[in-house]
Amino acid sequence: MNTYSRCWLDYENPYLKKGSYTIFREQIQKDIAFYAIDPSLENTETGRVLTKEVGNFFSRFFEYSLTKVPKSGNRTLSLGLFSWPEVQKLLEGVPLPKYPEAFMIRYVSPEKGLVVGAKDPKGLVYGVFRLFSLLQQGISYTTLTLIEEPRNPLRILNHWDNLDGSVERGYAGRSIFFENNKITDDTDRLTDYARLLASIGINGVVINNVNVKERAPFLLTGEYLPDLVRLAQLFRPYGVRLYLSVNFMSPVIVGGLDTADPLEERVQRWWQERAAVLYKAIPDFGGFLVKADSEYNPGPHTYGRSQSEGANMLARALRPHGGLLIWRAFVYKLQDWRDRTIDRARAAYDIFHPLDGDFDDNVILQIKNGPLDFQVREPVAPLFGTMEKTNQILELQITQEYTGHQIDLCYLAPQWQEILSFDPHIEGKPATVASIVSGSTWGRPHGGMAAVANIGRDANWTGHWLAQANWYAFGRLAWDPTLSAQTIAQEWVRRTLSNDESMVNRVVAILQKSWPVYEKYTTPYGLGWMVTPGTHYGPSPEGYEYSIWGTYHRATHTEIGVDRTSTGTGYTTQYRPYWRDRYDKRETCPEELILFFHRLPYTYVMKNGKTLIQNYYDAHFEGYEEMRALQEEWNRLEGSVDPVVFTEVQQRFVQQEENARQWRDVINSFFYRKSGIPDEKGRPIY
């Protein structure tokens, strides 16, 4: 028996089998007794997976078995491609989706049963898992006609896992992929991992850290190839493609060359040979992810070459095999804190925008959601509204590097929803970040969403049980960015914790409040950072203030912030005129971002009539109290949720309470000691 959670695929969870469940089970037993599978799939790996999943779901969740029959008919669940005549018969007269991964679920009639049809095998896997999701939630299937297709071609998890088994920015235990410089052989867990990905529509995995160091460059060699083949074979039936992070200097580190200059023919040839070997062994290998010229990672700038020259060289090695080159736009210079002419926020645009149109069609620029580094709140990166000729992927961070380390509760879907719906105000072209990265705004062939994974070898996968909701939410939003964070939270709770209506509403309310609460007691108004150097957990107001990383607030005894307006560092000029003008003026700049864009005196009066410093004091006192209210609300759920889950989440809240108290007192004391301005309400500040 496995010793870890199956998350939202735990079909035996008794807390999902209460209330109207018994009536629902009796109904489905009357309506569905058989299943039929497309003969073209029956002897394939996908067919075997579908057969296993259907048997597993009905026997564990509804506690009865379906009988296999050769074709559709009375009380039958039919699974097949749109090309199968049985599916064509059941879907006659219904317009069929054309996207490769699309699927349709339809209840035809009691005599003809329920059908899941798809254009290709991957779509059928997604469709079957979607059906299970609906049934888990007790959603009626008798009037169902559901057509879905993913909005994003690429929906990828980036794992920052190292070959020694450690995970950079990992808060849920060691790597599920690596240990002792080897690829693990925990087939059961890796299979369940692939199932979890398929169930939320994720179709790609980068298994190793973007900081490709120590033994990781040698993943390209024959030493690791058999195990990579094994992983790819395991992922394939679930529609998940394998990707690798590679070191730009691999021709030197691995190949023994004396250069990695992208314009050198022997360097190009080395990469071509490596790609050919990989694709011969893994024909559906996805491609490479590269972090270059950033935070000590070498890249084309080492040789005086541009980012596009470096990326295109690698992309051309992958092109004959249909591979993609994903190139991170997280590039900036380390700096001297004394030099106020450099603004790290400008870096990505300054480097990449002039290269728009220079990248090959199988290069995708992976752009972080904001210009800095996954802060609790940042403006949307200006590259999304200004690179018309370049494929783009939105990079998010599920792992809570700056948002609580999966100790503090912080449901991130509301943040992601704001980012995806951001309108860059492109003249004459309605658009959002979601439409841009999907490729639809400018008709780009590749695009999508990627996120830094938050999982590890902990029994619950994510350290904090409720942090599973962030993993789940990323998959659902990558599939359909129009979904609301609240709807996704409801889905996740119903599939994971309880189907009791009152319980669902209470947990969803806790999740929905958690990001604003975390923002209040850490760094509101777009200030960011102020975290403990290295770990990035807990407050350190000047931890990075005199560092090489360029994340300064430059607080004095009278004012704080960096002037990023047109007359300051000029960062606002990287946006289209609508946002440039709004961000430039204090009066129109959104207050939740005002300290990102403006340098303000502590006495600056905000829209609520209170000074900046009083708002900061109030936010931290209120954030702490609101966090305690979430903790108390969870404590009231005892007996309504699995006792193991309840106790472990309760323990996390105890840790979060101490962290929130520390943030409140350290930040308020910092502002008081800098300004000498007391709290108007006379609350304790040290």
pLDDT value of position 616: 98
Angle at 661 between CA 656 and CA 663, to 5 degrees: 95
The single residue of 373, 408, 519, 584 carrying the catalytic annotation is: 373
- Pair 288, 243 in one domain: yes
- Pair 111, 230 in one domain: no
Domain end call among 128, 148, 168: 148
pLDDT value of position 143: 87
| Domain annotation covers residue 309 | yes
pLDDT value of position 445: 95
Helix 468-479 vs helix 485-496: crossing angle, to nearest 10: 130
Q: Which sign, positive or negative, has the C-alpha torsion 619, 620, 622, 626?
A: positive
| Domain annotation covers residue 199 | yes
| Domain annotation covers residue 668 | yes
The single residue of 261, 395, 401, 618 carrying the catalytic annotation is: 401
- Pair 358, 459 in one domain: yes
- Pair 396, 411 in one domain: yes
- Pair 132, 204 in one domain: no
- The average confidence (pLDDT) of the chain is 97
| Domain annotation covers residue 384 | yes
| Alpha-carbon 599 to chain mean position | 32
| Domain annotation covers residue 281 | yes
Is there a catalytic annotation at residue 295? yes
Range 359-392 burial, b when 16+ CB lie within 10 A, else e: bbebbbbbbbbbbbbbbbbbbbbbbbbbbeebbb
User: What residue numbers bound the domain in which 357 lies?
Assistant: 154-484
Domain end call among 426, 461, 484: 484
Domain end call among 427, 461, 484: 484
- Pair 640, 662 in one domain: yes
The single residue of 188, 295, 638, 680 carrying the catalytic annotation is: 295
| Domain annotation covers residue 593 | no
pLDDT value of position 111: 86
CATH classification at residue 13: 3.30.379.10
pLDDT tens profile 40-90? 999 999 999 999 999 999 999 999 999 999 999 899 999 999 999 999 999
pLDDT tens profile 596-655? 999 999 999 999 999 999 999 999 999 999 999 999 999 999 999 999 999 999 999 999
- Pair 90, 213 in one domain: no
As a whole number of angstroms, the distance between CA 58 and CA 56 comes to 6
pLDDT value of position 38: 97
pLDDT tens profile 297-315? 999 999 999 999 999 999 9
| Domain annotation covers residue 39 | yes
Alpha helices in 456-500 (DSSP H): 468-479, 485-496
- Pair 289, 438 in one domain: yes
- Pair 162, 111 in one domain: no
Instruction: Extract the tokens encoding 375.
Output: 């802060």
Is there a catalytic annotation at residue 388? no
Distances, alpha carbon 316 to alpha carbons 321, 446, 517, in Å: 10, 16, 47
Distances, alpha carbon 338 to alpha carbons 309, 344, 542, 550, 552, in Å: 33, 13, 14, 10, 10
As a whole number of angstroms, the distance between CA 231 and CA 224 comes to 11
- Pair 387, 402 in one domain: yes
Segments of the chain with pLDDT less than 70? 1
Is there a catalytic annotation at residue 192? no
pLDDT value of position 2: 74
Residue 166 CB neighbours (<10 A): 15
Q: What is the DSSP letter of 16?
A: G
Q: What is the DSSP letter of 379?
A: P
| Domain annotation covers residue 501 | no
CATH classification at residue 537: 3.90.1330.10
Domain count, the chain: 3
- Pair 412, 437 in one domain: yes
Q: Are strands 154-158 and 67-68 parallel, antiparallel or unpaired?
A: unpaired
CATH classification at residue 374: 3.20.20.80
- Sheet order of strands, 67-68 included: 67-68, 34-37, 76-81, 113-118, 103-109, 145-148
- Pair 249, 358 in one domain: yes
